[in-house]
Amino acid sequence: MSGQETKIPAIEVKDLQKVYKLYDRPKDRLMEALGLGRKQKHKTHYALKGVNLRVDRGETVGIIGTNGSGKSTILKIITGVLHPTSGEVHVNGRISALLELGAGFNQEYNGIENVYLNGTMMGFSEKEIDRKLPEILEFADIGDYVYQPVKTYSSGMFVRLAFAVAINIEPEILIVDEALSVGDVFFQAKCYHKFEEFKKMGKTIVFVSHDLSSISKYCDRVFLLNKGVLLGEGSPKEMIDIYKRVLVGQYEPAGTQNGEDLLDDQELQLAAKKASEGSQSGRELNAAVNPDILEYGTKYAEIAEFYVTDDRGVRTTTIMKGSEFTLHMKVKFHRYIPAPIFAFSFKNVMGTEITGTNSMIEKAFLESAQEGQVKDVTFVQKMSLQGGDYLLSMGVTGFEKDVFQVYHRLYDALNITVISDKNTVGYYDMDSRITVVDGEESPIG
């Protein structure tokens, strides 16, 4: 045997294309099908365009991309739910797929009947399913609901049962598409623990997720899709970094799939500077701005623009835990303000305020502002919050003759995603450094 083990492909996709015909009206589809009229009635939409990828046996691979990028489409083609327009797909191993709620389940059957239905569809005998049933029911943990029709299940119970079936029938390849986002945090933890068991057993896992922290933590490699085109493949950190550029419009594909067209750091800085100096406001540029933002105040001072940049100066709403980031506010003053205070805070998605500060606490700006002035305010700090989604609020307040004034507040203005491959206990990371050394045995008595 050679010193380097030959990698065996579990999934190979070659020049895969999936094309849809889009019609403005139902009658246009009928007329074209009947050959009536010479004019083409449809528009061609490429859900996937010339995609090539390979997943080796034993790998855990993630697929990321914006909505409509083709992530779910490629998984459905790999699992045989959809047929490609052209290209080849080769699968080497038994697949278990959890693509979407309801797939493969009969709504009128109860939970146990659906376990047998799904097991049979995957090629298991009734005896084999009998043997696996206790493990499946224990993992799903939905109690007596297994005897009720699944149409009465909540989405959480449904995904518990579906995942329990998928994970316990000993697949060689497990494919999961976003379904875990429906379960509660405890069930998700159990599922990811199962992922780790699968990895140790040499199973192959492919999953699509918007949870970039999970992608970063569990994946060996990541594929990045955008508008049906494979932009690149590589380490989770590398692909997430490119994905962040795609999200803020600072990546322009040149038709390659090997990453040769990526902006280098100098170009990225110039792109960020140009975006910052452009006429677009932070609200227009940033897709993560809350459409139902709560704002109030006298508007004597107004936050005219706000955005976040990462440690390279690139506008983003995804921050790597442990890295430095900057909150920017452009504040216009419509009258004289004797002592403006600039502030920001982070909440979790349940509304609990986690952390924040202001210029008075930091003793950073203790001056007055004149009518017509514009102040560019920046808060630079290290991201120590755990991986997850947070809501960023900001404001301009102050005191006039000892009376507290709110000039402009923006509550839950931005959705900030923290990406982490190591979450500790609680809301933030204390950045502990641990040493363990041999010590002397204490004398007795």
Which whole number is the average pLDDT over 401-419? 91
Q: Which pLDDT value is given to residue 13? A: 94
Residues 40 and 167 grouped into a single domain? yes
Q: Which pLDDT value is given to residue 141? A: 87
Distance of CA 433 to the CA centre of its chain: 29
- Residue 94 domain-assigned? yes
Contacts of 14 (CB under 8 A, 6+ apart): 52, 87, 88, 89, 90
Residues 218 and 330 grouped into a single domain? no
pLDDT band at residue 197 using 50, 70 and 90 as cut-offs:
confident
Residues 240 and 292 grouped into a single domain? no
Answer yes or no: pTM beyond 0.75.
Answer: no
Q: What is the CATH number of the domain that holds 382?
A: 2.70.50.60
Residues 242 and 286 grouped into a single domain? no
Rg (alpha carbons) of the chain, rounded to whole number: 27
- Residue 34 domain-assigned? yes
pLDDT band at residue 286 using 50, 70 and 90 as cut-offs:
very low
Highest mean pLDDT range out of 27-36, 193-202, 300-309?
300-309
- Residue 437 domain-assigned? no
Residues 195 and 310 grouped into a single domain? no
The Cα–Cα gap between 104 and 77 comes to 16
pLDDT band at residue 263 using 50, 70 and 90 as cut-offs:
very low
Q: Each residue of 180-200: b (16+ CB within 10 Å) or e?
A: bebbeeebbebbeebbeebbe
For residue range 39-78, what is the model confidence (pLDDT) as tens digits?
A: 777 788 889 999 999 999 999 999 998 888 899 899 989 9
Residues 35, 39, 40, 43, CA torsion sign: negative
- SS3 of 63-85: the string is EECCCCCCHHHHHHHHCCCCCCC
Residues 241 and 362 grouped into a single domain? no
Query: Does residue 319 have a pLDDT over 60?
Result: yes
DSSP track, 141-199: --GGGGGSBGGG--HHHHHHHHHHHHHHS--SEEEEESGGGGS-HHHHHHHHHHHHHHH
Residues 340 and 398 grouped into a single domain? yes
Helices H, strands E: what count in the chain?
10, 18
Residues 66 and 193 grouped into a single domain? yes
Tell which wins on pLDDT, 427 or 375.
375
Query: Does residue 327 have a pLDDT over 90?
Result: yes
- Residue 138 domain-assigned? yes
- Residue 264 domain-assigned? no
Distance of CA 92 to the CA centre of its chain: 28
Q: Which pLDDT value is given to residue 248? A: 62
Tell which wins on pLDDT, 180 or 155.
155
- Residue 438 domain-assigned? no
| Helix pair angle (126-140, 155-168), 10° resolution | 130
Q: Which pLDDT value is given to residue 273? A: 44
Tell which wins on pLDDT, 62 or 199.
62
266 φ/ψ angles, rounded to the nearest 5 degrees: -65, -45
Residues 231 and 313 grouped into a single domain? no
Residues 81 and 183 grouped into a single domain? yes
Which whole number is the average pLDDT over 13-35? 82
Domain holding 51, by residue range, is 9-247
Q: Which pLDDT value is given to residue 101? A: 54
The Cα–Cα gap between 437 and 378 comes to 43
- Residue 433 domain-assigned? no
Domain count, the chain: 2
The Cα–Cα gap between 282 and 285 comes to 5
Query: What tokens appear for 317 in the block?
Result: 């709403």
- Residue 242 domain-assigned? yes
Contact between 124 and 97 under an 8 Å Cβ cutoff? The reply is no
Q: Which pLDDT value is given to residue 272? A: 41
Q: Which pLDDT value is given to residue 1? A: 45
Q: Which pLDDT value is given to residue 250? A: 61
Q: Which pLDDT value is given to residue 409? A: 95
Residues 154 and 212 grouped into a single domain? yes
Q: What is the CATH number of the domain that holds 55?
A: 3.40.50.300
Q: Which pLDDT value is given to residue 333? A: 97
**CA neighbor of 383 nearest in space, from 328, 415, 342, 346:** 346
Query: Does residue 30 have a pLDDT over 80?
Result: no
For residue range 119-176, what is the model confidence (pLDDT) as tens digits?
A: 887 778 888 889 989 999 998 888 889 999 988 988 778 888 888 888 887 788 988 8
Residues 236 and 385 grouped into a single domain? no
Query: Does residue 244 have a pLDDT over 60?
Result: yes
Residues facing residue 378 across a β-bridge: 328
